[in-house]
Amino acid sequence: MTAKKPRGEKIKKPSIAIVGAGSLATFLAVALRDAGFIITEIVARDSPPSLRRARALAAKVGARAVTARSGALDFALLWFCVPDREIRRAASVLSDHLLGRLLVGQKELARFALHSSGALSSRELDPLRTAGVAVASAHPLMTFVAGAHPSLRGVPFAIEGEDAAARVARQIVRELGGESFRLPAARKAAYHAWATMTSPLLVAFLVSLEEAARGAGLTREDARRKSLPIIQQTLANYSRLGPEQSFSGPLIRGDVQTVAKHLAVLKKHPRVREVYMALARAALGALPVENGDELKRLLRD
């Protein structure tokens, strides 16, 4: 009778092939290599720009740059880091390649596949199921842009999919220093809407701040520099005290006259005015305010 592994014992790290060579693929490939994983291949589209990016990334992590049809596929896990619209197509091409190898009697190592879409479920990888591959999705709640090098320490990863692939995903996340949580497939769109608000739409809000500051005679650069102390303190307050205790300004005081002045001056900046009104309405519904009825009437105009 085979003894069970003790709870918490690490299992052998799977070898990994990365599909894609963009910002997320680059960050993950380097992070995985630094955590002791072997990156065997960087799988790219069969086009010169895609192959150039794949070769550059492969050189960083000691892998081979290949296309979906030319790769050796000598890995235990495929990790798709491509745009959402490309996941199923790439999975289909790789599934055909895997099945072709199986038909000629060549043993394959590929047993698991992950994709990193926050909005789509692991069903996008269904073509690989026909090749006997267990599939899941693993989305890090973090922003990855060129020129930035965020830490994965404590970063939450939303895991969804088949149990076998989800277990491997959780193991990898632990090795990367992140934290994982299970997410039902039916909740992925709602999860990704929240995730989009945490960073991309936050940046859109910050751009609106810059435009508002122009009305006060500041340049965009000055606005960024002068806004950072209060933004950072607000985030620190939110983290330590929660939203209600972090809320300040004219709405909590019920200062209808001041809000009216804001709306009047922002008529010169209609896009910013729209953002201001949307956020003020959200505050009326979720945060402590005075003179709520008067403010609602003002914000309806």
User: What does the pLDDT look like over 18-50, one tens digit per residue?
Assistant: 999 999 999 999 999 999 999 999 999 989 999
Least confident of 106-120, 123-137, 241-255: 106-120
Extents of the domains making up the chain: 16-185, 200-300
**Residue 9 reports pLDDT greater than 60:** no
**Residue 8 reports pLDDT greater than 70:** no
For residue 116, the Cα-to-chain-centroid distance in whole angstroms is 8
Q: Tell me what the mean pLDDT of segment 202-229 comes to.
A: 96
Q: Which CATH superfamily is domain 16-185 in?
A: NAD(P)-binding Rossmann-like Domain (3.40.50.720)
Q: How far apart are CA 176 and CA 102, in angstroms?
A: 32
Predicted local confidence at residue 7, as pLDDT = 43
Mean pLDDT of the chain: 92
| Between residues 6 and 119, the one the model is more confident about | 119
Q: Tell me what the mean pLDDT of segment 230-236 comes to.
A: 97
Predicted local confidence at residue 107, as pLDDT = 52
104: pLDDT confidence band, cut at 50, 70 and 90? very low
